[in-house]
Structure 1
Amino acid sequence: MNNKKNFVFIMTDQHNPDYVSYSKAAKVDTPNIDFIAQGTVFENAVTPNPVCTPARCALLTGKYPHQVGMMTTSGCLNTNYPTYARALKKSGYNTAAVGKLHLMQGWHWNVPVGQGHDLVELKEETKKYGFDYVWETAGKGLMLKNYCDYAKYLDKQGLLAVYRNEVIRRDKAGGHPEYPDTAESFGISEENHVEQMIANKAISFIKEQDKEKPFSLLCSFLSPHPIIDPPSRFLEMEGLNMDEEFLLREGQKELSDDMKKRWCENRRGYRALIRFIDYQIGRIIDVLKAENILSETILVFTSDHGDVLGNYRIDGKNLPWRESSTVPLAIRHPDFVNGIRVEDPVSLIDIPATILDIAEIDYEKALSLFWPVWNHVVPCKSLLPIIKGDTKKVRDFTFTENDGFEMIQTKNYKYIRYRTMTKEYSTPKEKLFDLQKDKSELTDVSKLEGYSDVLKWCREMRDYTLNSTPAGQMGWAPVRD
């Protein structure tokens, strides 16, 4: 008889932390995500990198992006790095990944349509990350260049050209504050929608499991990342709220009435997509109940990064601000459904450590290599002591990085150091925000009297993190027996 817990790890893409109904802001109704939040809610969960590929690589490995050579959406995660999925598989779990992985970005953005990765052909390579079963879909816009399992499905339905033409039509508006993405269907039925298909595959995997063997399922949805394409019935559930607040930084102009209306319509579609995903999560939970395994299953819900949604007159991610760098995170352990809320910071890299800890696997050992050098450095921490109620925090700060900045965040402060990319040395720019007084992160206090000690400490923690977590080296040349 199997006595190990199963894992259903559910991810969304580009999910603002306020857009779940268990949050204090509660900007959209998400009853099924709230079910997961009956366990433990981490109100200050910070991504190690507010960009898709590096955040996902960190989630899989429990290491910072710079440790695995994935600082931005460029290149492919080396399959030799240890992953939590591989550790579970080695321990006897049946492992699966369904939906968006985005661990490979080996092509330049300007390649022609259809000339990216053939993820169907690369499936055996993808399985090397630690998965027995893979049903992968590219991101919405990425499907213009990549061929994946969902693209193959659409192809058979005669819908792939329809999908790609819609991406081309709407792509020019993406990422520009003057032209936020409109909220409208792709002209593809709800039953053929990518989120519905991902849930279908996840449900099939769960139903097919041998009850004598534990399983781990990564179910990764594409939304609410643009393109904003909710099915019409979910869009109709969300009214247009013209009283939306849009944050501005010093010197920025107010949005025009027309532009505000466009952004309000965009946010309406964003909420509708989250409702649609919440519906799919409910379907998955219902199957766990029907299979009588909910009491033996750990549910994890999070996202890779957030979305500023028109605040500061910009769209998207890749920013240090809370809406981009913080994500929703809830974990429901059936033995510890205690309604705990955690205000101290945690990092997304702590999720693989938590999963392995629950599975009674030494995560520091499982996620490290003795050789090549520096692969033994594992900075993630298990959240299980918090979930069990044994402690209130496992770290004092989180570290976030990308190609533009590095960030230290505590419960009360946020420090940002911008990278200098010039050939000659220039003094790095830095900012400090007092989150106790300025939750919107609008006032830089780095040069104000009374903050010198905090600034000094944050600088030291940034230096310590980078110095203590060097990049793990990788080799390819064969060694003689």
Structure 2
Amino acid sequence: MTISPKNILFIQVDQLTPIMIPAYGNAVANVPNLSSLASGGTVFDFAYCNSPLCYPSRSSMMSGKLPSEIEAYDNGSELPASVPTFAHYLRRAGYQTSLSGKMHFVGPDQLHGFEERLTTDIYPADFSWTGDWNSTFQEHNNDTTAFTQAGPCVRNPQIDYDEEVLHRAKRKLFNLARSSDPRPFLLVASFTQPHDPYQCEERFWDLYRDEDIDMPIVSAIPFDEQDPYTQRLLTQYRLRDFTPTPEQIKRVRRAYYGMISYIDEAVGVLLQTLKSTGRDKDTIVIFTSDHGEMLGERGLWYKRCLYEHSVRVPLIVRHPEFGAGIRVKENVSLIDLLPTMLELADPTGSLKAVDKIIGQSIVPCLKGIKRYEGTTFVECLFEGAGAPIMMVKKGSYKLITSLRDPEQLFDLSSDPKELTNLLANPSHANKYKELKCIAKEQWDLERIESAVLLSQRRRKFVHRALTAGAYTPWDFVPTDQGSGQCLRGGYAEWLSTNTLGSRFS
């Protein structure tokens, strides 16, 4: 079956673990639009990010390469302008490409293949967030203030930012519908919620009651019983000597649900805009997150670890030509999205990837065809790691391996809570050897370790130099697109050429 090129609306959120929405079994979240999208599309039950941190995950996703392949180590890393992204590929395939919202690009190239950005980014574009393996604490890390500030609020910077993302993405959809440009479009709408701080507007807070909020599945594990990396991570977060009360945990999770409901409303606005402009029948909708959120599981919060709540992401795809209600059990990851978009945008296969990518298209899954026993790779190369910490998952087995820390082997089919390390169990020795071989074939950990340390030194030096004296920021400043809606010529022509879907004769 030949796939005709479709428009693509790509919706990404920040720090949403799939375990907290109904499409993945949660019974608390009030998200009717996401549930409708899931029932009308394909849900990937085991989708993973390739790094549980914003920038490495997003640059990896856009390039179709693992973070270590493009030096995307931490939130202060730069994506080289010479690395092709799915925005570059879709432009070559004849698409118009736009980005509204966050993509956490660092460096002077703030477009990376997009023809236009509709908003600035919410985070800095310089090297100020460079990771440091030699530092116990870093100022840009999460900390305990998230617990003392959690709850309803009137406004905060995240709400301000996401409202602008939604406004500009919605207006772009209207402008695309009344444009004479015949090219299909890729519009990325990227929101910052439900990232901490755990705060939401009162109306979303009021969708929930304290007695309905579920608590973590796995209770906090004593510090001395945690694995060494988790101990370092808790220290980084200043959580080693801070234990949130049950009331604080419930308050955080209620606010998190409120932020998810905000995102759901935004998704509903975008889907309704597609429908009202008549583009819902020729537009593919992709919904995902950059990484997950621990939300108190095992006593852990935020992300940056390799447990399931942190590394799994929601992935829902609605294609107007394929069947609804499909669930995919194979492992997939965000680096599969570049080859997927390439196949969707260029069904003839004439446009090839210019260099090696290990991701594989998930288009067969959208057709209900079993793809393969997927193998996923996840990397921890940011502050706190101290050395590369890598994850390989094949089937239900998951290996966490490192030069510094004890290895961990889990079978998620029998141990979904990841409580039993099978490494010393002889009955699982063959599976360990298989995953260890895959890891050794994929990574040279000593080389990666040296590369990370060199990159940290270089970026810290460059940042200090560039902030001495006159400072020229790399942050993207969008143009005022509002002026394009205003009268600057003849009244009748302005009105007739910009009115969409008039019912009057």
Range of TM-score over shorter length = 0.7 to 0.9
User: What is the identity, as a one-letter code, of the residue corresponding to 1:31?
Assistant: P
Q: Aligned with 1:208: secondary structure?
A: helix
In structure 2, the partner of 1:201 is 168
CA distance in 2, matches of 1:185, 1:250: 31
Question: Which has the larger displacement, 448-457 or 66-75?
Answer: 66-75
Residue of structure 2 equivalent to 1:417: 401
Correspondence 1:115-264 to 2 at 5 A: 125-127=109-111, 129-139=112-122, 142=123, 174-176=142-144, 179=147, 181-185=149-153, 187=155, 193-209=160-176, 210=179, 212-241=182-211, 243-248=214-219, 251=222, 259-264=245-250
Of the two, which has the highest radius of gyration?
A: 2
- Distance in 2 separating the partners of 1:258 and 1:45: 30
Of the structure 1 ranges 33-42 and 8-17, higher mean CA displacement relative to structure 2 is found in: 33-42
Give 2:420's match in structure 1, choosing from 443, 459, 468: 443
* Separation in 2, partners of 1:387, 1:411: 19
Please give the alpha-carbon distance, in whole angstroms, between the structure 2 residues aligned to 1:243 and 1:56: 30
After superposition, residues 100-115 of structure 1 pair within 5 angstroms as 100-104=102-106
Cα gap change, 1:60 to 1:180, in 2 (>3 Å): farther
Match of 2:336 in 1: 350
- In 2, are the aligned partners of 1:45 and 1:347 still within 8 Å (CA)? yes
- Please give the secondary structure, in 1, of the residue aligned with 2:199: coil
Q: Tell me what 1:40 maps to.
A: 42
Distance in 2 separating the partners of 1:259 and 1:362: 57
CA offset digits 1:196-232 (Å, max 9, x no partner): 2211111111111136221001110000001223121
Instruction: Confirm or deny: 8 A CA contact 2:306 2:391 kept in the other structure.
Output: yes
Matched residues in 2 for 1:86 and 1:173: separation? 32
3-state SS in 2 of match to 1:18: helix
Q: Is 1:334 aligned to 2:320, yes or no?
A: yes
What is the correspondence of 1:284-433 to structure 2 with a 5 Å cutoff?
Answer: 284-360=270-346, 366-368=352-354, 376-389=355-368, 391-403=369-381, 404=385, 405-420=389-404, 429-433=406-410
> Does the 8 A contact of 2:373 with 2:395 survive in 1?
no
For residues 163-203 of structure 1, the C-alpha deviation after alignment (integer angstroms, 9 at most, x for no partner) is xxxxxxxx99943399465123253599x732222111111
Whole-angstrom distance in 2 between the partners of 1:364 and 1:401? 32
**Would the aligned equivalents of 1:180 and 1:263 in 2 still touch at CA under 8 Å?**
no
Q: CA RMSD in A?
A: 3.0
Question: Which aligned pairs between 1:20-99 and structure 2 lie closer than 5 A?
Answer: 20-37=21-38, 38-99=40-101
Cα distance in structure 1, aligned partners of 2:331 and 2:350? 20
* AA aligned opposite 1:97: L
Moved segments of 4+, more than 6 Å: 143-146, 253-258
Partner SS, residue 44 of structure 1: strand
TM-score with structure 1 length normalisation?
A: 0.78
Aligned residues: 408
Paired with 1:466 and 1:365, the residues of 2 have a C-alpha distance of 28
Structure 1: any 5+ residue segments left out of the alignment? 107-121, 147-170, 369-375, 421-427, 473-481
Measured at CA, do residues 351 and 435 of structure 1 come closer, stay the same or move farther in structure 2, by a change above 3 Å? same
Distance 1:445 1:364 in 2: 46
Counterparts of 2:248 and 2:126, CA distance in 1? 28
The whole-number CA distance in structure 1 between the counterparts of 2:317 and 2:278 is 19
Is contact 1:346–1:395 with CA below 8 Å preserved after alignment? Answer: no
Partner secondary structure for residue 331 of structure 1: strand
State the shift of 1:400 in Å. 0.6
Contact 1:11 1:219 in 2 (8 A): yes
SS at match of 1:452: helix
Partner residue of 2:231?
Answer: none
The 3-state SS of whatever aligns with 1:224 is: coil
Q: Does the CA-based 8 Å contact 1:173-1:180 persist in structure 2?
A: no
Aligned residue for 2:303, secondary structure, equals coil
Tell me, yes or no, if the aligned pair for 1:406 and 1:419 is still in contact at 8 Å: no
Q: Does the CA-based 8 Å contact 1:407-1:417 persist in structure 2?
A: yes
Map of 1:158 onto structure 2: none
CA distance in structure 2 between the partners assigned to 1:173 and 1:62 by the alignment:
27
Amino acid in the other structure paired with 1:102: H
What is the DSSP-based 3-state SS (H/G/I as helix, E as strand, rest coil) of the residue aligned with 2:22?
A: coil
Give the one of 424, 433, 437 matched to 1:460: 437
Deviation per CA, 1:423-481, whole angstroms, max 9, x where unpaired?
A: xxxxx52010111211011111110120100100010111122269x999xxxxxxxxx
Q: State how far apart, in whole Å, the 1-side matches of 2:91 and 2:327 are.
A: 31
CA contact (8 A) 1:96 1:217 kept: yes
SS of residue paired to 1:393: coil
Distance 1:364 1:429 in 2: 46
SS at 2:200's partner residue? coil
